[in-house]
Amino acid sequence: MSMHTVERVLFEIASGPAQAAEFKRDRQAFLAAYPLTPEEAGMLALLDVARMQARGVDPMLTMRAFTAVEGRERLGDYMGSLHAAAGKGGQ
């Protein structure tokens, strides 16, 4: 897994409302612009922050991208997914 590419995608998603909206509108098309493995594209399309962090992706980037796409009001869901994964010993 190329953490650099995954983190670059997360940075782009979080870089502004237009990019977050573009990602939300068509996640697969947005991700097609990057050289991602199927596993990476799947994690990003689902915003599977627990899996990304378990593989070493920067936690601040996962949080910024998640809130850019889902909104701050869903931050509890973000934290819940991390706590659930931690309870299972990571993923």
Of the pLDDT bands very low, low, confident and very high (cuts 50, 70, 90), residue 2 is confident
What end-to-end distance do the CA atoms of the chain give, in Å? 15
- Domain at 66, CATH number: 1.10.700
Q: What is the pLDDT of residues 31-78, one digit of tens each?
A: 999 999 999 999 999 999 999 999 999 999 999 999 999 999 888 888
In angstroms, the CA 22 to CA 30 distance is 7
Per the model's pLDDT, the better-predicted residue between 61 and 91 turns out to be 61
Number of structural domains (the chain) is: 1
Neighbour tally for 48: CB within 10 Å? 17
Question: pTM for the whole thing?
Answer: 0.86
Domain span at residue 52 reads 3-87
